[in-house]
Amino acid sequence: MAAVLGQFMEFHSVHGTNVRLDPSRTRATRIESFANGVCFSKEPLSPGEIFLVEIEEKELGWCGHLRIGLTARDPRTLDSVPEYSLPDLVEMGDSWVFAITRNHNKVTEDEAEQAERAEQPIAQEEANNKPKTFFTDTHLYIESIGIPRDKLVGRSRPGRFSHILDDLYKTNALPPTARRSRIGVVYVPRGQGYADMHIIINGEDMGASAKRIPTERPLFAVVDVFAATKCVHIIQVEYGFASLQTLCRKTIQKHIIHRMALDWLELPELLKHYCKYE
């Protein structure tokens, strides 16, 4: 993962006609209608590198929600950006897009894969079943890929019922299409020249939603700001070891009932703010 440590995620300058990007190119807003909201990552993704967005604004009155996936088509080579990622972009070929619904969209494994998993060595099963520790719990593991959990789950805005919302986030019960929900796409190598695409919703791996994707060409993230999803912004994920600041914050959060309880602690105001909103 060393190659992606310093990469700052942005949206590509090529996007749907109804999309407006902020000056940082990290926030995409669909300004009218319900379509023409297709966006791409500025740079291709590396294996195991997640492109993570948070739903910032919703728009009532439309059916359908965010769509996300990968494409092997360089956005600069498109004559025009398709109106829809599904089916338009996918029907062009070399694109794999997943529609997010109110349900978790967990992809079930086929019988062959279940049998393969059942034949794993007992030692491997025991290793997988070992209790999580403070440090191992800081990453979401998919095969050999580790993604820092720190940014994968959004936080409710502070308010009267923040303690209730925090409990929902802890159990991943927040609906995938809700505001503050965080959704990401990542691809995991599966042998020479192929990979599986995984969708991560609020810190939970949905399974391989597309399999044996060819990796000889660069893969760009696709985010379709569609229908009821009005605005999304990119969440920057930092790879490598968690900083001391992050570990301290996580330790404090583990020992309080909810974020509003931070106000009762004798801590510097800046530290309280950091613990509440991240």
Overall average pLDDT of the 100-112 stretch: 64
Reported as a single tens digit per residue, the pLDDT across 9-30 is: 999 999 999 999 999 999 999 9
The residue type of 130 is K
Do residues 248 and 206 share a domain? no
Q: What percent of the chain has pLDDT over 90?
A: 56
What tokens does 50 get? 């997640």
Detail the DSSP E strand segments found in the chain. 19-21, 27-30, 38-40, 51-58, 67-71, 95-99, 139-142, 145-148, 182-189, 194-201, 204-214, 220-224, 229-235
Do residues 220 and 262 share a domain? no
Q: How many domains does the chain have?
A: 2
The answer on pLDDT for 170 being more than 60 is: yes
Q: For residues 198 and 187, give the distance between their C-alpha atoms in angstroms, rounded to a whole number.
A: 6
Do residues 172 and 272 share a domain? no
Do residues 140 and 271 share a domain? no
Looking at residue 131, its pLDDT comes to: 44
By residue range, what is the domain housing residue 173? Answer: 11-103+135-241
Reported as a single tens digit per residue, the pLDDT across 225-252 is: 999 999 999 999 988 666 677 778 778 8
Supply the CATH number for residue 153's domain. 2.60.120.920
Do residues 228 and 251 share a domain? no
Reported as a pLDDT band with limits 50, 70 and 90, residue 171 is low
101 vs 174, higher pLDDT: 101
Q: For residues 186 and 45, give the distance between their C-alpha atoms in angstroms, rounded to a whole number.
A: 8
Do residues 151 and 258 share a domain? no
